[in-house]
Amino acid sequence: MPLSGPINGEGNIHMMRIAFLPMILVSCVFLARGVFAQENAATLYVAPNGNDGWSGRLSEPNPAGTDGPFKSLERARDAIRDIKSSPGIPKGNLVVQIREGTYFLDKTFALGAEDSGAPDYPVVYSPFGNEQVRISGGKPVEHFAPVTDAAVLERLDPAARGHVVQAGLKAIGITDYGAPSGDGLELFFNDKPMTLSRWPNEGFVRIKELAVDDGHKIHGIPGSTVGKFVYDGDRPKRWVGEKDGWLHGYWFWDWSDQRQKIESINTAESILAVAPPYHNYGYRKGQWYYAFNLLSELDSPGEWYLDRETGILYFWPPAPIAEGETVVSVLDNAIVAKDVSYLTIRKMTFDATRGTAIVFSGGSHNRVAGCAIRNVGGSAVAMSDSPESGVYGCDMCQMGKGGISLSGGDRVTLVPAKMVAENNHIHHYSRWARMYNAAISLQGVGNRAAHNLIHDAPHMAISFGGNDHLIEYNEIYNVCEESNDAGAMYAGRDWTMRGHVIRFNYLHQIKGFEGRGCVGVYLDDMFASAAIYGNIFHQVTMAAFIGGGRDNTIENNVFVDCSPALHIDARALGWAGYHADTWIQEHKEKGTVCKMAYNKPPYSERYPQLAGMMEDEPKAPKGNLIARNICVGGKWDDIEDKARGYLKFEDNLLDVDPHFIDAANKDFRLKEDSPAFKMGFKPIPVEKIGPYQDADRASWPVAR
């Protein structure tokens, strides 16, 4: 059924899946254009050569040096408060224009409810004209010297001794370094993240054998609960005596990593031991890890090490140290806005925070637009409980965690938040927190991710949970590079999180760790009621995955060289039944499922199939429809026998030439004579997929 066709109940495309779309689109019009559709009511200026004692009404100092722009964002913020407290504020934007330069913050720029705008006078922070403004949570390190300490030189690799330089951080007022396990100080050189000393310099080594056999097993797979194992070779000998060595490993599963401190090294028996608490799932032979935070492994350009006792930073710069900028991250956040509304942060660069660069909580109608966010230890932007807010047109890369987190809407009442992540380019993220840190995370009710380009990441691209989210027109590739049981788009383990639409996306070259496979759209552990419509999957190992869930639709998609295109199982009738048993017991005791009143309004009205589920074989994968899909090359399906009888297949074109316009050049549009049209296939609007040119794009064209 095409999306423009008649909608009834919870049919092929559930009515309530798209009922909220017009509301979201109205919000987008406001967010994308409304702020700049009116004149400025007042304009203030901030500049590196400003003075907080001046009026802030001039864009540059006057010849007499008696007036000019402000020096700090805080002074401009306070002046906006004064303007708002004045009688008779004219309609128009209240704008703070920031002159070109780098602003190293000495504290997080904090905004509260008193800093809100209003529909008639939104508050905007943006650069002056097309000038380049950089807001940094870091601090420059300038006074490097050669290493002269004999003990340090002895521990360094001989090849590194003539290249490593050192600087004292305590001398420049930095004494809080955080922990090597995460969220601590990082080093950046010439706008690129440097590598905390490690071995091997790239990739991993494997656990040779487990040192303690305690009978531990998961799903029949043997392991050990004790973090002691045999290593291969003799490299760990050089780590003996290190102050603070760590290991980062995927200790049992390829989707669960953890950093753990080295407790001891037994060189006689080649045994490494990590300090408790041990990994939750235990340890397994053949799993992979690397060592880091070791002075002795500072052996290649771009690596660094910090002695947390002395505060001395050791660094092998990849270019002459005097010719570049060296920055260490200091602040947790650049901007924190709490209960602020009608605020826009526009067209600036943010970097070098230890945590998330920009954080909004509460309020409404806020936007981050056209910004470049890079080299942060946390995520780029987090917005929570801020309805009709969004992140537009930003370029984001080299985050330690994810990209954009949007959380809002009421799951009890199903009132949508209408928060949006649109037209962003997010890549090379999850540098540090490798798993479960998505480029875009949608939680709550009625949020949207659209026209984003996402690539090059160890794990997922888009994660979602809640109800009625819309994921459309995104291009995703080269993700899940360090995991196999993973999905480019992922949601799981809830019968009540319904009403999602995943349409018109292009997913390609997604093959998992070491090419061993992963998933395109992963509906894990009985996740239900998602519409996967009009997407293109090219060279995605397992393109569409229904893990025992109900009432999902896979319609009008194109699968090219996927192996398989489709996986459906009945896991709740087997090994994963314990999850469903928990929900069934909750229903018996409390009348709810997953804490939701599933059989009462608004759930019973929005999702009528859910209302009667408990009386209709709740563990069975019923209501799944697979219709009018095209599959070329690879393999069509991998369906568990127990699931097949519950499924409905209609008019799928399998291993028949669909008459692509130019498959060799990845143009998977259909020619007019395609046999797919005879079975009701509708053209996919390929030309709309991905980012688009806009006044609030951080860059154009988008560089891949």
Judged against a pLDDT cut of 70, whether residue 9 lies above it is answered with: no
3-state secondary structure of 196: strand
3-state secondary structure of 417: coil
Judged against a pLDDT cut of 50, whether residue 692 lies above it is answered with: yes
* Nearest residue to 653 (alpha-carbon basis) of 638, 672, 636: 636
Q: Are 383 and 408 in contact (CB under 8 A)?
A: yes
Least confident of 6-15, 344-353, 477-486, 530-539: 6-15
- In the sheet with 138-140, reading across from the earlier edge strand, the strands are 138-140, 326-329, 187-189, 192-193
Whole-angstrom distance, CA of residue 274 vs CA of residue 229: 9
Whole-angstrom distance, CA of residue 654 vs CA of residue 636: 7
pLDDT of residue 415: 98
pLDDT of residue 7: 27
Whole-angstrom distance, CA of residue 461 vs CA of residue 476: 7
3-state secondary structure of 329: strand
Cα-trace Rg, the chain: 27
Residue 127 token pair? 């650069």
pLDDT of residue 3: 31
Residue 642 token pair? 């127990």
pLDDT of residue 517: 87
Whole-angstrom distance, CA of residue 31 vs CA of residue 28: 5
Judged against a pLDDT cut of 80, whether residue 26 lies above it is answered with: no
Beta carbons within 10 angstroms of residue 591's beta carbon: 12
- Specify the higher pLDDT residue, 90 or 687: 687
* Nearest residue to 628 (alpha-carbon basis) of 559, 701, 549: 559
Over the chain, what is the mean pLDDT? 94
Whole-angstrom distance, CA of residue 390 vs CA of residue 25: 12
Q: What is the mean pLDDT of residues 304-327?
A: 98
CA dihedral (573, 460, 478, 256) in degrees, to 10, reads -80
245 vs 147, 149, 184, 188, 285, CA distance in Å? 21, 20, 15, 21, 22
Quote the DSSP letter at residue 514. Answer: G
Residue 24 pLDDT class (50, 70, 90 cuts): very low
Q: Give per-residue pLDDT as tens, 402-445.
A: 999 999 999 999 999 999 999 999 999 999 999 999 999 999 99
**Half-sphere exposure of residue 139, counting CA atoms within 13 Å on the CB side?**
19
pLDDT of residue 91: 87
Q: Are 543 and 562 in contact (CB under 8 A)?
A: yes
Q: Are 448 and 420 in contact (CB under 8 A)?
A: yes
Q: Give per-residue pLDDT as tens, 318-367.
A: 999 999 999 999 999 999 999 999 999 999 999 999 999 999 999 999 99
3-state secondary structure of 393: coil
Whole-angstrom distance, CA of residue 106 vs CA of residue 173: 11
Q: Give per-residue pLDDT as tens, 588-631.
A: 999 999 999 999 999 999 999 999 999 999 999 999 999 999 99
pLDDT of residue 235: 97
Beta carbons within 10 angstroms of residue 548's beta carbon: 29
Q: Are 96 and 44 in contact (CB under 8 A)?
A: yes
Helices (H) and strands (E) in the chain, counts: 8, 60
Judged against a pLDDT cut of 90, whether residue 51 lies above it is answered with: yes
Judged against a pLDDT cut of 70, whether residue 29 lies above it is answered with: no
* Nearest residue to 261 (alpha-carbon basis) of 280, 284, 242, 238: 242
Beta carbons within 10 angstroms of residue 698's beta carbon: 24
Q: What is the mean pLDDT of residues 377-405?
A: 99
pLDDT of residue 38: 61
Q: Are 446 and 24 in contact (CB under 8 A)?
A: yes
Classify burial at 592, counting beta carbons within 10 Å of its beta carbon; exposed 0-12, middle 13-18, buried 19 or more.
middle
Share of the chain above pLDDT 90, in %: 92
pLDDT of residue 516: 85
Q: Give per-residue pLDDT as tens, 97-156.
A: 999 999 999 999 999 999 999 999 999 999 999 999 999 999 999 999 999 999 999 999
351 vs 77, 249, 274, 444, CA distance in Å? 21, 28, 33, 28
pLDDT of residue 13: 35
Residues in the chain, total = 704
